[in-house]
Structure 1
Amino acid sequence: MTSATAGRTQAAVSLMESLPTVRWDDIESAAEVTERIARRLGDDPELLGTLVERVRRTPELREKCECHALDDKIVLWDDQAKGLRIRLRLANTDQYERVHNHRYSFTAYILRGAYRHTLYATDQPLDETADVERFWPYFVREEAEGRCITLDHEQLHTTITEPETISLMIQSPARKDRAFMIRRSDGQVWYRLGAAEESAERRREVRMSDERFEHWAGRLQAMGVL
C-alpha cells in the first residue's frame, strides 16, 4: 500500500468512526440521521472507492460480501454498537416479485437506477400457511435515482429494480431471527436467516467470490459510483 493510499484509508476510517449513533427504535429520527449519513457517503465517489478498496484488505468485511438471486452486497462498515451496518446493494439482471420483510430496519439511498416499490398489508400469519392472494398493495411508487427511503423491519414490501441499480444501504442491528418471504408468482414461502444461523454449506454458497468482487469493483468505477 502506498503512503497516499494509506492516508486516504485512514481519513476514510476516521470519518466512519465519527458517524453518529442511530436510534432505530425511533424510525423517524433514524430516517433523518441515516439520510444525512447516506448522502455524505454516497455523494463522494472517492470515499466510496477507498472504502471498497479497504474491504479487499479487511477479512471480517470481505467475508460478509454475498451473492443472492436478485442482488449482491459489499459490506463497507459494520459498527453494531452504533446501529450502523453500511453496504452497497448491487441489483442483478434477473428480478422477480417477492413480498417480504427484513430482519432489520434500513435506509436505502439510490445511487444509480430505480426501484418500483410496493408496500403491502395482510391479515394473516407470516408462516408457511400464508396465502399469496391475501397480500394487498396499498402504496406503489417509482423510487428514482437520488431518493432515500427508510423502512421499518416489520413492513412488507417488494422492490423490482432496473438491472445494476446501485443503492447505499444503512441497516440496523437484527430485530428478529428470520425474515419472511413469499413469491408472488407461485406463493412459495421461505425465510432469510442471519449468517450466524446459516449452515456452513449455505455460507459457502452465498459468499462473494474474488472474481465477482472484482467484477463489481470494475462496474462501479465505470458507472461513476466509485
Structure 2
Amino acid sequence: MTIAAQITYTEMISPLSALNWNDVASVNTAATKLLDQLADDRAILADLVERLPDDAHLASLCEHYDILDKLVLHDDPTGWRLRLHIFLDGYFDRPHNHRWTYTSRILTGSYTHTLYGTDHDFTDEVDVSALTPRMVRVEEPGDTYTLHHSMIHSVTAHGEAVTLIVRGPAVKDRFVVTDRTSGRAWWQYGAANETPEAAAAKRMTSGHLSDRIAALRASGVFAAPRNHD
C-alpha cells in the first residue's frame, strides 16, 4: 500500500475506534461509511488482502472451514476488526446469536438472511423447534446491514458470496448455536476460551491463504465497481 493510500485508509478507519458498539444506529452510520468507501475504492481493499501473507499476526487470525473462509484485514487495538468473508456454494449456518455487533456489506453473490428475534433466555436448553422466522430477506450486492449481537439469525448462500464485515469488540465469552434438524443447541466459545486443538483446526494455512487470495484476484472482486449513475 502506498503512503498516500495508507493515510487515506487510516483516516477512513479512525471514526470506528471511539464508537459505542451498543448504539446500533451510530455503528451503522460509521461502519457503513467505511464499507462504502472500501467498496468504491477496490485498490485499497486489494492492498489490504494482498498484504496478509506478509503480516504474521493478521494471517494467524484468518480461518478456513469446509465452505467458509474468513480473512482478517484489520485488527484494531480497540477491539474491532475488518474481515472479508467468502461463503462457498452450498453454505448455510444454523440459527445462532453473536458475541459482537457487526455491519456487513455484500460485494458479490447473495444469500438468504433469516432473523428469529432476540436472544432473551436463549441458552443451550432452548426449544429449537420453537424458533420462528421473524424476517426473511435476500441480501444482494450493494446491500448493507448492521446486526446487534443479541439477534438470532441464519444465512444460506446462493452460489459463492463475498462480504466485507466490520466486527465490533466481543461483549460475550460465548454464544449459542442451534441445529433445527437434530433439535440440539450448544454453547460455542471465542478464541480466548478455545482449546489449542480447536484453534489449530480452523486456522488457515499459508498455502490456503495464498490460494484464496489468488482466487479472489481472479474473480474480479478487486476490480473497480461499475458506475450506476
Change (3 A) 1:23 1:11: farther
Which stretch of the first structure deviates more once superposed, 16-25 or 51-60? Answer: 16-25
The answer to whether the Cα contact below 8 Å between 1:69 and 1:94 also exists between their aligned partners in 2 is no
The question of 1:184 aligning with 2:180 is answered yes
Q: Is the 8 A contact 2:71 2:84 kept in 1?
A: yes
Task: Output one character per residue of 1:87-120: Cα deviation in whole Å (capped at 9) or x when no partner.
Answer: 1011123423411011000000000011201110
**Structure 2 residue aligned with 1:90, among 79, 86, 91?**
86
**1:78 is matched with which residue: 75, 79, 82?**
75
Mapped to 1, the partners of 2:137 and 2:90 lie a distance apart of 20
User: Is residue 2:200 matched to residue 1:207?
Assistant: no
Could you tell which deviates more after superposition, 208-217 or 172-181?
A: 208-217
SS at 2:28 equivalent: helix
- TM-score for both structures, normalised by structure 2: 0.88
Aligned residues: 218
Name 2:143's counterpart in structure 1: 147
Superposition deviation, residue 46 in structure 1: 1.4
**Aligned amino acid, residue 74 of structure 2:** W
Amino acid of the residue matched to residue 88 of structure 1? Answer: L
Indicate the SS of the match to 1:127: coil
**Cα distance change on mapping 1:108 and 1:181 into 2, 3 Å:** same
Q: Could you tell me the TM-score, scaled by structure 1's length?
A: 0.89
Cα distance in 1, alignment partners of residues 4 and 130 from structure 2: 50
Q: Which moved more, 1:54-63 or 1:190-199?
A: 190-199
Q: Which residue of 1 aligns with 2:49?
A: 52
Partner of 1:116: 112
Residue in structure 1 matching 2:33, options 29, 32, 36: 36
The residue number in structure 1 matching 2:163 is 167
Deviations 1:153-179 (A, max 9, x none): 000011111232000000100010111
CA distance in 1, matches of 2:65, 2:128: 22
Unaligned runs of 5+ in 2: 223-229
Distance in 2 (alpha carbons) for counterparts of 1:197 and 1:109: 29
In percent, how many aligned pairs have the same letter? 35
Shift, 1:12, TM fit: 4.0
| Long gaps (5+) in structure 1 | 1-7
Secondary structure in 1 matching 2:89: coil
| 1:124 Cα offset (Å) | 7.1
Whether the 8 Å contact between 1:124 and 1:130 is mirrored in structure 2 is: no
Aligned letter for 1:138?
A: R
Give, in whole Å, the separation in 2 of the partners of 1:124 and 1:172.
20
